[in-house]
Structure 1
Amino acid sequence: MFTISNGIILKGQNLTPVRENIVVDEGRIIEIGKDSKEGKIIDVDGAIVCPSFINGHIHIGDSIIKDEGYGLSLSEMVRPPDGVKHVALANASDEELISAMRQSMMEMIESGTTHFIDYREGGIKGVKLLKKAATGLPIKPIILGRDDSFYGDDPDLGKVKKAIQKLLKVADGIAPSGFGEITSEVAKLIVDECNKKNKISSIHVAESESNQIESLNKSKSTEIEKGVKAGFSQLVHLTNPKGIDLDEVSKSKQNVVVCPRANATLNVGVAPLNKMIKLNIKPLLGSDNVMLNSPNMLRELEFTLKVMSVYYRQYINPADLLKMATTNINYYDINDIVQKSLIKEGDFAEFIVFNSFSKNPYLNICNRLETKNILYTINKKFNI
């Protein structure tokens, strides 16, 4: 049992700043209050206590090719099966993949991340490799698998269904690349089978303008319209919405993830976060491909804070931004699988203690902090 004493706590779903103490016992927060004190007392002297980070979207497998292919187009980099990343993954040994993924997880842990949602290539073997890489580390991967049988204009739907069912025995959900690579029938199978097992179905949508145009030319529907209609529980990117796309997402209450640094690296635009927030969409923030960016959420937060004001000439509320890396996951059904905690009594202890450099706790984290400014990362399994 221990007490984090004298900190500025970003408490509950809304990250409300309060100067209180947190008592932790056997991995759970048992009491929060000004006078709460039990066990070992750790006086943090006004430091900021924030929920640990969740990286809402990452491809950790391409950790093996950091910064390769810089300047290539989206399709050249990541479109299966011939993109730079897919060729590299096909040629890498199991040992190389495990070592690179483990290194990236260590970087996430060191920068305050305790959960990440991964798009896992390589079928069942790929899922098992990531689980092996994560063994013994204080971080929880939420693994969304895929299979090569999903792709093509005329896939064998019986084979696809069997592949989905086998994947769902070992993975937390299914995540094909995008609608440019799968048919509507495959999309329906993925969503239906995931719903039966209460698991996550996820897909990239509207990452680039060209993807949206291609979708409209082929089917008279945007990729976002397709994602909403198919019922995927998680839509990733939404960088280039059209017309009423975002209104439809708001009505559907699907989980949304945005990846500003990756979008900037690939020169495809910036997701309209302020518009999403006005529509009561609660996005998550993700770092996307490790080959493009480090999986450090502090870097993602600072970049997003500033690119929004440059690109849209409108500031984003730093409290809303910080929620995208911490508490927004609690708005969605997929948190039954993710199991990410808030700072509240009864929840697992999953929080970070940061040095404080400014009076605004949200800007302190989003604008000023680096990994070296983390005093403690508290995790329900590993404590301090």
Structure 2
Amino acid sequence: MQEVTPYVVTGRTLLGEDFREEDVSITVSGGIVTSIEPSSRTPDRWIVPAFFNAHTHLGDTVAMDLPARGSLADLVKPPDGLKHRILAATPRAELVRGMRASIIAMIATGTAGFADFREGGADGVAALREAAAGLDCRPIILGREGGEEVSDGAGISSVHDVANAEEVVRDARAAGRLVAFHAGEKNPDDIDETLEFEPDLLVHCTHATDAQLRRIVDMDIPVAVCPRSNWLLGVAASAAHPPITRILELGGRFYLGTDNVMFVQPDLSREMAFAATVYRAPPGEILRAAITGARMAGRSGFIEEGQEAHFLVVNPAKSNLSFSKDILATIVKRLDSSSIGQTVLTLQ
């Protein structure tokens, strides 16, 4: 057996789920944080948890910023929305190249994993696996159109769009796979029906009613919200949608995602800054939402002993970040790839 050489990273660190600020030395061995020890002399750098993008459509990379007009249904509704027609007409090699480029972009901006609704059936799932091969960014693939059977679960569009949703959910449950639904993106009409399936994840809930939110929280279902995409696609125009503040008031959970690469860059630092500006949620809640989607991959996402090593080393001296009086708020509002000196995204 090959011996694993431990290595140590030292700096001011946001530790655990409560983001305790401490000067520590972190020892990593075999991809695991094996010890976190206080350090009296630390370099001028910050160590923060890496991100998990809770909702993407990476296949859309091939249609990035394509001039497009029309309703939400015209653009993205399966099976004949604009994005679906483009995906069907794109050669497989180009599709893989585009998805790989977006994964590399996510790594550069601090993302250690993502959950993708993958179109194209089993071949679409295989194409995303090929795109991610050898990269330190773990995909959770939620298949469609038959791809559910060879992926991590089912990524279902609105319950109103999928005639055999009951069968898809039943088969996914029988195989021990995840079940995720788009719901409530443009109105609340499909949320109650979706909740009958008791999904593991809801995406959007942009227009969920208060009664629906209470039910979602009571069922302990996390909601992956995608604020920039909602605003760009015209389904949100105020801080009430998606209802981030109300989810928090009710004691619920939300994750951050970036949605379609066709419209929005898959960069969670930009998503966090937008959410902080528009929704005024506490920085700790926003950062937590950019991390805890990692639970779908079976890990906490936080910097703790015994957890996989997924963190960013930020060099504040490379920019004006060195003047920060609140590291947590600065990470949420101002981080960009130019400040990230090192990414530790060790996958097992």
TM-score higher than 0.5? yes
Aligned to 1:104, the other structure's residue is in SS state: helix
- Give the match for residue 351 of structure 1: 311
Q: How many Å separate the matches in 2 of 1:180 and 1:327?
A: 29
In the other structure, the counterpart of 1:189 is 167
SS in 2 for 1:284: strand
- Distance change in 2, residues 1:368/1:341 (3 Å): closer
1:72 lines up with 2:35 in the alignment: no
- Structure 1 residues 102 and 340 mapped into 2: Cα distance closer, same or farther (>3 Å)? farther
| 2:185 maps to amino acid | E
Equivalent in the alignment of 1:360: 326
Q: Which amino acid aligns with 1:261?
A: R
Counterpart-to-counterpart distance in 2, 1:187 and 1:81: 15
Q: Answer yes or no: is the 8 Å Cα contact 1:225–1:248 preserved in 2.
A: no
Deviations 1:330-358 (A, max 9, x none): 4xxx343xx45321111111111123321
Residues 17 and 224 of structure 1: CA distance in aligned 2, closer, same or farther (over 3 Å): farther
> How far off its partner does 1:44 sit?
6.4
> Cα offset for 1:277?
0.8
Change (3 A) 1:29 1:265: same
The offset of 1:73, in angstroms, is 2.0
1:325 counterpart = 2:290: yes
Give 2:254's aligned amino acid: P
1:30 aligns to 2:10 (yes or no): no
Give per-residue Cα distances to partners, 1:251-292, cap 9 Å, x unaligned. Answer: 011121000010011010131111101111111100000000
SS at match of 1:182: coil
Q: Which residue of structure 1 lines up, in the alignment, with residue 178 of structure 2? A: 200
Greater shift in the superposed pair: 269-278 or 168-177: 168-177
Counterpart mapping for 1:95-106 below 5 A: 95-106=93-104
Q: Distance in 2 between matches of 1:180 and 1:168?
A: 18
1:102-135 per-position Cα deviation (integer Å, ceiling 9, x unaligned): 1101100111101000000000000001111111
The aligned counterpart of 1:273 is: 244
Residue 179 of structure 1 corresponds to which residue in structure 2?
Answer: 159
CA distance in 2 between counterparts of 1:370 and 1:245 reads 36
Deviations 1:10-55 (A, max 9, x none): 111222222212111121111001149xxxxxx8624221111100
Identity %: 32
Whether the 8 Å CA contact 2:50–2:110 is kept in 1: the answer is yes
Q: Which amino acid aligns with 1:258?
A: V
1:3 — aligned with what? 8
Equivalences for residues 331-342 of structure 1 within 5 A: 334-336=296-298, 339=299, 341-342=301-302
- Post-superposition shift, 1:329? 4.2
Q: Which amino acid aligns with 1:342?
A: F
Contact 1:257 1:284 in 2 (8 A): yes
Shift of 1:227: 1.8
Asked if residue 170 in structure 1 is aligned to residue 150 in structure 2, the reply is yes
Change (3 A) 1:84 1:293: same
Change (3 A) 1:24 1:123: same
Alpha-carbon spacing, 1:25–1:305, altered in 2? closer, same or farther (3 Å): same
Displacement, 1:89? 0.4
Question: Does structure 1 retain, via aligned residues, the 8 Å contact 2:217–2:253?
Answer: no
Structure 1: 5+ residue runs without aligned partners?
Answer: 37-42, 148-162, 213-221, 309-314
Q: CA RMSD in A?
A: 1.8
Moved more, 57-66 or 173-182: 173-182
Q: Distance in 2 between matches of 1:288 and 1:234?
A: 14
Structure 2 CA distance, aligned partners of 1:320 and 1:132? Answer: 34
Q: Is the 8 A contact 1:200 1:233 kept in 2?
A: yes
Match of 1:304 among 275, 280, 293: 275
* Matches for 1:110-149 after TM superposition, within 5 Å: 110-147=108-145
Deviates more, 1:50-59 or 1:196-205: 196-205
Distance across 2 between alignment mates of 1:103 and 1:335: 22
Q: 1:169 offset after TM fit, Å?
A: 4.5
The one-letter amino acid of 1:117's match is A
Relative to the length of structure 1, the TM-score reads 0.83
Partner of 2:344: 378
* Alignment partner, residue 50 of structure 1: 48
Equivalent residues of 2:24, 2:42 under 8 A apart: no
67-76 or 282-291, which deviates more? 67-76
CA–CA distance in structure 1, aligned partners of residues 301 and 333 of structure 2: 24
Please give the alpha-carbon distance, in whole angstroms, between the structure 2 residues aligned to 1:204 and 1:168: 15
| TM-score, normalising length: structure 2 | 0.91
1:16 maps onto 2:14 in alignment = no
Per-residue CA deviation, residues 185-208 of structure 1 (Å, 9 max, x unaligned), is x22222222222221111110101
Task: Give 1:176's aligned amino acid.
Answer: I
Q: Give 2:292's aligned amino acid.
A: T
